[in-house]
A and B are shown apart, each in its own frame.
Chain A
Amino acid sequence: MKTDEERKGKVTSFLEEDYDGNLDVLHYLEVLRDKVGFEELSKKVERPLTGLKIAPYYGCLLLRPAAEMQMDNPDDPSIFEELIKALGAEVVDFPMKSECCGAFQVVNSETMATRCSKEIIASASSRGADVIVTACPLCQFNIEDRQKEIGEAETGFKTLPVLYFTELMALALGCGDESISSKKHYIDPRPVLTERGLVG
């Protein structure tokens, strides 16, 4: 809307409304970084996630296409890592952090989606992550849900809890143990959080 006059014209004529396109579209992570500030956020942390090893999963579309998203460098992003550090946890860097999880192909090709997710989970696991954190509900659902199938196909597969980033924020900001619900997750994140002394 901001950069393409022709497209703006199409949208406004469809809407039959004279919208000037001047609203900023921001991701919640951007709000945290640019409006709140991670340093400010870290001051509000009541229960630092000390010792928790978090693999930040960006997924394919949070940062791409870079020119449109204008959020972070898709080849070497840092916004998620900064959030994790602000919450007092440990960042686990892994090469699959901006690969596609395959969620878009679940209906067409479940095996492909499973294969994509498996690469991501295995990569995070092999680098010692306790949990994967996503910034997209679909990624969160997909990567968690695929682990059923992987677990059935492979004996000895080690499951990895997958959390949405706001869940961990709530925990760190002192919203209490109920911030993380066992029921909402196929892979219960509570055992590892208990082990790290973060929920009691």
Chain B
Amino acid sequence: MQPTSNRVMVIGGGISGISAALDLADAGTEVVMVERLPSVGGRMLQLSETFPTLDCAQCTLTPRTVETGQHPNIKLLTYSEVVEMHGEPGNFRVKIKRKAPRVNWDDCTGCGACQEKCPKLVTTNFFERGVGTKKAIYTLSPQAIPNKPVIDAENCRYLTEGKCGVCSKICPVGAIRYDQEDYYVEEEVAAIVVATGFDLYPMEAMGEYGYGKIPDVIDGLAMERMCSASGPTAGEVRRPSDGKVPQSIVFIQCVGSRDPEHHKPYCSRVCCMYTAKHARLYKHKVHDGKAFLLYMDIRSTGKGYEEFIQQSTEEEGLIYLRGRVSRIYREGEKIVVWGADTISGEALRIDADMVVLATAIVPNPEQKALAEALGIETDEHGFLTEAHYKTGPIDTVSKGIFIAGCAQGARDIADSVAHGSAAASRAQAFLARLRRSAA
């Protein structure tokens, strides 16, 4: 069989997909990267510092995203989604929806004037997770790749009320296109790497933690945005309800994870570490603040992880309590956390200013439809299913389609990078075999 193309499509521009794409591109393979959001970087772009080294996520990620954007072998299709796939291994034809950014990206110079002058402050932007605001025309980060904005059509004054047009007036190259529409393109590729990442289990599903209705009860990614120096609060920890600096925070681990009766049975693998990290970052910012960490047990199995936890418990002044929480409610200005200390067996009550929930890692809700379009399988939780649990963790039941990163199961950054590189290697081997059989 003669492959029509030697290209590989990477679906998902997070750290795993980027790793796969860069390895493939460096080896001389042409890559088409499809990313749902306006720019690449994925979840890592939302993070503040990363465990166990506490180095800045932007600083470690940006060189990789820049390289992805500039690599001659990588064709970047951001703000795009895979909708259909036809063909067979070696000859996949993939239909891609290119969402309208309502900005002509070819003309846009990325000067940022539109974002600066846009009068509309949006509090519901998905990327900021309820922390701070974004404008109705935005890029995900100051170092966005590509550095081109999109218009949030639901919140844009011009599109919802018919007046405003500030961005259009201010744009020095006249790139604003309010009437731009989605369109579809088709790409031919020989193999596909699916690295569509993860989402967090919704707080709305957790009755005992207030169903997401208490503003000062936030999830882990919201805490990341709050701690991030390039985030909406410029790294200041302030509670969402009144903007006050919290003097005490309760961090709760295993929220939705390891709870087979009500939620997800599995361990989400990163929460023990990022909760310790959150608490340390908070203490670094608010020196006399109290950080309580409620855990089931501590799972710190990566390299340098146990040492990080040891340091957290012994030197950073964090208060670790083995306990479970049965109820969180608002009492005046305080958030009351009720539960049990499972070592002493005593009832536990903490009157805190803010609560951070380490909610379970789940696949993105769109992942199932994508898997169906690609003809690959998902497990009972929606994660992509590997061909063999032990010996085929990157392959799928469909030849030529490989999986990487949290789309397959919860993992940390280092493992996601390794998984991405492994997918690149598997895709290369597949291409080489195709060429051999064609010759």
A binds B: yes
Output the nearest chain B residue to A99 by Cβ-Cβ distance: B327
In the complex the two chains form, what is the Cα distance from A75 to B208 in whole Å? 6
Output the nearest chain A residue to B332 by Cβ-Cβ distance: A126
In the complex the two chains form, what is the Cα distance from A51 to B396 in whole Å? 63
Assess whether B33 is interfacial by the CB under 8 Å rule. Answer: no
Output the nearest chain B residue to A127 by Cβ-Cβ distance: B331
Which residues from A are CB-within-8-Å of B208? 75
Task: Say whether chain A's binding surface is mostly helix, strand, loop, or mixed.
Answer: loop
Question: In the complex, are the beta carbons of B327 and A76 less than 8 A apart?
Answer: no
Question: In the complex, are the beta carbons of B327 and A95 less than 8 A apart?
Answer: yes
Question: In the complex, are the beta carbons of B327 and A73 less than 8 A apart?
Answer: no
Which residues from A are CB-within-8-Å of B211? 75-76
Question: In the complex, are the beta carbons of A95 and B329 less than 8 A apart?
Answer: yes
In the complex the two chains form, what is the Cα distance from A74 to B330 in whole Å? 18
In the complex the two chains form, what is the Cα distance from A94 to B205 in whole Å? 20
Which residues from B are CB-within-8-Å of A75? 207-208, 211
Quote the shortest CB–CB distance from A98 to chain B (angstroms). Answer: 9
Quote the shortest CB–CB distance from B332 to chain A (angstroms). Answer: 8
List residues 58-117 of chain A with CB under 8 A from any CB of chain B: 73-76, 95, 99
Assess whether B294 is interfacial by the CB under 8 Å rule. Answer: no
Assess whether B18 is interfacial by the CB under 8 Å rule. Answer: no
Output the nearest chain B residue to A94 by Cβ-Cβ distance: B329
Output the nearest chain B residue to A66 by Cβ-Cβ distance: B262
Question: In the complex, are the beta carbons of A73 and B336 less than 8 A apart?
Answer: no
Quote the shortest CB–CB distance from A71 to chain B (angstroms). Answer: 15
Which residues from B are CB-within-8-Å of A76? 207, 211
List residues 122-148 of chain A with CB under 8 A from any CB of chain B: 126
Question: In the complex, are the beta carbons of A73 and B207 less than 8 A apart?
Answer: yes
Which residues from A are CB-within-8-Å of B331? 95, 126
Per-residue A-contact encoding for B314-329, CB less than 8 Å = 1, 0 else: 0000000000000101
List residues 191-208 of chain B with CB under 8 A from any CB of chain A: 207-208
**Best-buried of B207, B330, B336 by chain A (most CB within 10 Å):** B207
In the complex the two chains form, what is the Cα distance from A74 to B208 in whole Å? 9
Which residues from A are CB-within-8-Å of B207? 73-76
Which residues from B are CB-within-8-Å of A126? 331
In the complex the two chains form, what is the Cα distance from A126 to B334 in whole Å? 14
List residues 25-83 of chain A with CB under 8 A from any CB of chain B: 73-76
Which residues from B are CB-within-8-Å of A95? 327, 329-331, 336
Which residues from B are CB-within-8-Å of A74? 207
In the complex the two chains form, what is the Cα distance from A150 to B411 in whole Å? 53
In the complex the two chains form, what is the Cα distance from A95 to B336 in whole Å? 10
In the complex the two chains form, what is the Cα distance from A73 to B330 in whole Å? 20
In the complex the two chains form, what is the Cα distance from A99 to B208 in whole Å? 12
Quote the shortest CB–CB distance from B65 to chain A (angstroms). Answer: 41
Output the nearest chain A residue to B208 by Cβ-Cβ distance: A75
Quote the shortest CB–CB distance from A162 to chain B (angstroms). Answer: 21
In the complex the two chains form, what is the Cα distance from A106 to B208 in whole Å? 27
Which residues from B are CB-within-8-Å of A73? 207
Output the nearest chain A residue to B330 by Cβ-Cβ distance: A95
Per-residue A-contact encoding for B291-333, CB less than 8 Å = 1, 0 else: 0000000000000000000000000000000000001011100
Output the nearest chain B residue to A126 by Cβ-Cβ distance: B331
Quote the shortest CB–CB distance from A114 to chain B (angstroms). Answer: 15
Which residues from B are CB-within-8-Å of A99? 327
In the complex the two chains form, what is the Cα distance from A73 to B211 in whole Å? 12
In the complex the two chains form, what is the Cα distance from A183 to B327 in whole Å? 37
List residues 34-65 of chain B with CB under 8 A from any CB of chain A: none
In the complex the two chains form, what is the Cα distance from A126 to B208 in whole Å? 21
In the complex the two chains form, what is the Cα distance from A76 to B212 in whole Å? 12
Output the nearest chain A residue to B213 by Cβ-Cβ distance: A76
**Best-buried of A73, A74, A95 by chain B (most CB within 10 Å):** A95
In the complex the two chains form, what is the Cα distance from A74 to B329 in whole Å? 15
Output the nearest chain B residue to A77 by Cβ-Cβ distance: B207
In the complex the two chains form, what is the Cα distance from A26 to B393 in whole Å? 51
Which residues from A are CB-within-8-Å of B329? 95
Output the nearest chain B residue to A95 by Cβ-Cβ distance: B329
**Can you list 6 A-B pairs, Cβ within 8 angstroms, ordered by A?**
A74-B207, A75-B211, A76-B207, A95-B330, A99-B327, A126-B331
- Which 5 pairs, one residue from A and one from B, show the smallest C-beta to C-beta distance? A75-B207, A95-B329, A76-B207, A75-B208, A76-B211
Interface contacts beyond A76-B211, A95-B331, A126-B331: sample of 11 additional A-B pairs, CB < 8 Å, sorted by A: A73-B207, A74-B207, A75-B207, A75-B208, A75-B211, A76-B207, A95-B327, A95-B329, A95-B330, A95-B336, A99-B327
